[in-house]
Structure 1
Amino acid sequence: MIFELNRSCFVSDNGTMSLIFMANIALKGRHRLYVCHPEDEAYLKWFEGLGASLQENWRVALDTSISLEALESAKYSVLVCNDTDQCYDRESLVLDLSAAERLIYEPFKVFVENNGADRDFLLTFSTHDQFNKIRELEAANLFSFEHCGGITELPKKVEYYANERRVNYLNCSAVFDSDAPSPDAASKEAMIAKDVCDRHGVFSHVLRRRAIENYLSRDWLNTWVNKSPKSARSNKKKIFTSYCKLNLEQRSHFHMKRGLKVDKDGIQAGAITLYSDVSDGDLCTLNEGFGDNLAGDLYAADWVQNAQTVNDSDAWGEVNGMINEILVQCR
Structure 2
Amino acid sequence: MKVEIDYDLFDSIKQEEDVIELNYLLNIILYKNRHSVYVTDTRVFKLEVYDSIPKTTQSVIELFFTQNVMTSEEKDCLICFDGASFDDEKKFNLVEGIRYLSQPVSIIVENSFNDSHFFKAIFRCFDDSEIINKHFENLWIQFENSGGCSNIINYIKGRSQFYNDRSKFFRCFVILDSDKLSPNDTNDKYSNVKEFLSLKKIAFHVLEKRMMENYIPDEAINANIHERYNKWKNAYLHLSELQKDYYNIPSGFIKVTSQAGKKTSKRDKKKEIKKNQLDALPEQVKNLYSDLSSSNFESLKSGLSIPNIKSEFPKFFNCEHTVYKKSLLQRTRHQRNPHELSDIVEKIMKLI
TM-score between the two structures when normalised by the length of structure 2 = 0.78
* Separation (CA, whole Å) in 2 of partners of 1:164 and 1:184: 39
* Separation (CA, whole Å) in 2 of partners of 1:161 and 1:49: 37
Matches within 5 A, 1:51-130: 54-64=54-64, 67=67, 73=73, 76-82=76-82, 86-90=85-89, 93-126=90-123, 127=125, 129-130=127-128
- Structure 1, residues 76-113: CA drift from partner, whole Å, max 9, x if none? 2324114x7622344xx432211111111111111111
Residue 200 of structure 1 and its aligned partner are, at CA, apart by 1.2
3-state SS of the aligned residue for 2:301? coil
Residue 271 of structure 1 and its aligned partner are, at CA, apart by 4.9
Matches within 5 A, 1:286-297: 286-291=300-305, 292=309, 293-297=311-315
Question: 11-20 vs 307-316, which deviates more?
Answer: 307-316
CA 223–300 in structure 1, closer or farther in 2 if over 3 Å, else same: same
Residue of structure 1 equivalent to 2:291: 277
CA 238–69 in structure 1, closer or farther in 2 if over 3 Å, else same: farther
CA 220–102 in structure 1, closer or farther in 2 if over 3 Å, else same: same
* Separation (CA, whole Å) in 1 of partners of 2:298 and 2:172: 43
CA 176–36 in structure 1, closer or farther in 2 if over 3 Å, else same: same
Report if the CA contact (8 A) 2:79-2:94 is conserved. no
Report if the CA contact (8 A) 2:40-2:65 is conserved. no
Residue of structure 2 equivalent to 1:237: 230
What code does the residue aligned with 1:47 have? Y
Report if the CA contact (8 A) 1:242-1:282 is conserved. yes
Give structure 2 stretches of 5+ with no counterpart: 260-278
Residue of structure 2 equivalent to 1:153: 151
What code does the residue aligned with 1:285 have? S
Pair 1:15 & 2:14 matched: no
Runs of 4+ in 1 over 6 A off after TM superposition: 68-72
Residue of structure 1 equivalent to 2:262: none
What code does the residue aligned with 2:317 have? Y
Question: 114-123 vs 292-301, which deviates more?
Answer: 292-301
Residue of structure 1 equivalent to 2:316: 298
* Separation (CA, whole Å) in 1 of partners of 2:214 and 2:91: 43
Report if the CA contact (8 A) 1:32-1:65 is conserved. no
* Separation (CA, whole Å) in 2 of partners of 1:158 and 1:305: 32
CA 56–33 in structure 1, closer or farther in 2 if over 3 Å, else same: same
3-state SS of the aligned residue for 1:272? helix
Residue 207 of structure 1 and its aligned partner are, at CA, apart by 0.5
Report if the CA contact (8 A) 2:220-2:319 is conserved. no
* Separation (CA, whole Å) in 2 of partners of 1:102 and 1:322: 26
Residue of structure 2 equivalent to 1:324: 346
* Separation (CA, whole Å) in 1 of partners of 2:65 and 2:117: 30
Report if the CA contact (8 A) 1:124-1:304 is conserved. no
Report if the CA contact (8 A) 1:260-1:289 is conserved. yes
* Separation (CA, whole Å) in 1 of partners of 2:107 and 2:68: 23
CA 219–65 in structure 1, closer or farther in 2 if over 3 Å, else same: farther
Give structure 1 stretches of 5+ with no counterpart: none
* Separation (CA, whole Å) in 2 of partners of 1:23 and 1:76: 16
3-state SS of the aligned residue for 2:33? coil
CA 272–305 in structure 1, closer or farther in 2 if over 3 Å, else same: closer
Pair 1:31 & 2:19 matched: no
What code does the residue aligned with 1:29 have? N
* Separation (CA, whole Å) in 2 of partners of 1:297 and 1:108: 23
Residue of structure 1 equivalent to 2:52: 49
- Structure 1, residues 169-221: CA drift from partner, whole Å, max 9, x if none? 65211112111111243766544432332221111111010111101111110
Sequence identity percentage: 18
* Separation (CA, whole Å) in 1 of partners of 2:182 and 2:214: 12
Residue 75 of structure 1 and its aligned partner are, at CA, apart by 5.5
Residue 238 of structure 1 and its aligned partner are, at CA, apart by 0.5
Report if the CA contact (8 A) 2:107-2:175 is conserved. yes
CA 326–40 in structure 1, closer or farther in 2 if over 3 Å, else same: closer
* Separation (CA, whole Å) in 1 of partners of 2:299 and 2:68: 54
Residue of structure 1 equivalent to 2:330: 311
What code does the residue aligned with 1:136 have? K
- Structure 1, residues 219-270: CA drift from partner, whole Å, max 9, x if none? 1101111xx3xxxx32x21011111222122110000111111126246253
Report if the CA contact (8 A) 2:28-2:102 is conserved. yes
* Separation (CA, whole Å) in 1 of partners of 2:201 and 2:180: 24
